[in-house]
Amino acid sequence: MRYYHLIIVLWPLVCSSQSSLLTQGLKSDYGILWKENISWQQVLAQAKAESKYIFVDCFATWCAPCQLMDNKVYVNYDVGKYFNENFISIKIQVNKTSKDTKSIRAWYQNADLICKQYKVKAYPTYLFFNPNGELIHKEEGYKNVSDFLDIGKEATKPGKKYVDEYLRYDQLVSSYKHGIKDYSTMLYMFNTAVVLGDSFLVRSLLNEYYKYLLTSGDSMVYSKANIEFIATYTRSTKNKMFNLFLKDAHMIDSIMERPGYSKRISDKLIQNTELNRILQPPSSRNDTIEPVWNDLILAIQKKYNLEVARRVVFDAKVKWYGNRLQFNDHSNLLRYMATFIENVVAYGTDTTDLMEDLDLNAFCWEIVFKHSYNETQINTAIKLMEGVVRRFLNRPDCPPDQYFDTYANLLYRVGRVKEAIKWEEQAIKSAIEWKRDFKLEAYYQVLNDMENGRPTWPM
Model pLDDT for residues 310-365, shown as the tens digit of each residue: 999 999 999 999 998 988 888 889 999 999 999 999 998 887 788 889 999 999 99
- Residue 392 shares a structural domain with residue 340: no
Question: Which amino acid type is present at position 5?
Answer: H
**373 lies in the same domain as 310:** no
Question: Are 320 and 294 members of one domain?
Answer: yes
In this model, does residue 291 exceed pLDDT 90?
Answer: yes
Burial class from Cβ neighbours inside 10 Å (0-12, 13-18, 19+) for residue 38 reads: middle
Do both 458 and 368 map to the same domain?
yes
pLDDT tens by residue, 368-399: 999 999 999 999 999 999 999 999 888 777 88
Residue 46, domain member (yes or no): yes
Whether 132 shows a pLDDT value over 90: the answer reads yes
User: Are the CB atoms for 124 and 63 separated by under 8 Å?
Assistant: yes
Asked if residue 406 and residue 323 are part of one domain, the reply reads no
pLDDT surpasses 60 at 12: no
Percentage of the chain lying above the pLDDT 90 cut: 75
Within this chain, do residues 72 and 151 fall inside the same structural domain, yes or no? yes
At residue 11, φ and ψ (nearest 5 deg) are -80, 135
Mean pLDDT, all residues of the chain: 89
Same domain for 297 and 394, yes or no, is no
- Which pLDDT score is estimated for 20? 36
**Residue 291, domain extent:** 275-348
Residues with Cβ < 8 Å from 20, sequence gap 6 or more?
Answer: none
C-alpha span between 92 and 108 (Å, rounded): 9
pTM for this one? 0.71
pLDDT score recorded for residue 280: 86
User: Is the domain of 307 the same as that of 419?
Assistant: no
Name the amino acid, one letter, at 361: N
Answer with the one of 155, 177, 198 that is the final residue of a domain: 155
Whether residue 398 sits in one domain with residue 363: yes
- 359 & 288 share domain: no
In this structure, the answer to whether residues 20 and 151 fall within a common structural domain is yes
Residues 69 and 26 in one domain: yes
* Position 73 in a domain: yes
